[in-house]
Chain A
Amino acid sequence: LAKTTQPVSMDSYEGQEVNITCSHNNIATNDYITWYQQFPSQGPRFIIQGYKTKVTNEVASLFIPADRKSSTLSLPRVSLSDTAVYYCLFPSGGGADGLTFGKGTHLIIQP
């Protein structure tokens, strides 16, 4: 079972850095970790994907420790438009469980 654990919700303020951590204790050797963002009334949107250490793109950074049992999505200098639900997923060797989004983390950014 590809089970992930994330905080249900988080609050922050504009201009702050936000870190959302996802635990995935049963990640398989070949699994990549993928993060999605979902705005109200839209489908989830791919943000970033990584296997180990650090990955950075124009939107976010992803930190994965050596044991790979967790990952942290880092959003630098957030704005009100970053208010959304954030999900982490990993394939877990295949099957429908690896495609299950879970509840995600509801991030609320305040002025």
Chain B
Amino acid sequence: DAGVIQSPRHEVTEMGQEVTLRCKPISGHNSLFWYRQTMMRGLELLIYFNNNVPIDDSGMPEDRFSAKMPNASFSTLKIQPSEPRDSAVYFCASSFELYYEQYFGPGTRLTVT
């Protein structure tokens, strides 16, 4: 298996623009997680899905953030409109079942200017 795939790997955008991050989990994994990492706040859990259903989105910082998982092999995290404070590395991870070991993607480094 290719592991968790994220795209793009790097994204530079201007404040106010819409940003869409994409994730393909490992085939057969039932749980998917979106994290954000910065030096100041560390690794933050934003939202997680189980069997394509969002379970907890309490970590999503604002209504500007939204996530979807239309099927078992694809998820998106959207920021609209983006702000400079959204600059961070965004990781997607998947696991066979909830609370099993997670496998992380390479991350998307987002810079909002």
| Pairwise interchain contact A91-B99, C-beta atoms closer than 8 A | yes
Q: Is the interface of B mostly helix, strand, loop or mixed?
A: strand
CA distance A46 to B3 in the complex (A): 13
In angstroms, Cα B98 to Cα A96, docked, is 10
CB proximity of A69 to chain B, nearest CB, Å: 19
Q: How far is the CA of A28 from the CA of B106 in the complex (A)?
A: 32
A96 to B102, CA, bound (A): 14
Stretch at the interface among B11-19, B42-50, B66-74: B42-50
- Chain A residues contacting B33 (CB-CB under 8 Å) are 99
Give B1-54 interface residues, CB cut-off 8 Å to A. Answer: 33, 35, 42-43, 45, 48
In the complex, which residues 75-100 of chain A have their Cβ closer than 8 Å to any Cβ of chain B? 87, 91, 94-96, 98-100
Q: Given A96-B59, A99-B45, A102-B42, A43 and B101 touching (CB < 8 A)?
A: no
Give the size range of B's interface with the partner: 20 to 34
The interface centre, meaning the residue of B59, B99, B104 with most chain A CB atoms within 10 A of its CB, is B99
Q: How large is the interface on A (under 10, 10 to 19, 20 to 34, 35 or more residues)?
A: 20 to 34
B103 A46 Cβ-Cβ under 8 A: yes
Question: Which B residues lie at the A interface, using CB under 8 A?
Answer: 33, 35, 42-43, 45, 48, 56, 58-59, 89, 91, 93, 98-99, 101-107
Give residues in A with beta carbon < 8 Å to B.
32, 34, 36, 38, 41-46, 49, 87, 91, 94-96, 98-104
Apart from A43-B104, A99-B45: 14 A-B pairs, beta carbons within 8 A: A42-B104, A43-B91, A44-B43, A44-B93, A46-B103, A91-B99, A94-B98, A95-B56, A96-B45, A96-B58, A98-B99, A99-B99, A100-B45, A101-B42
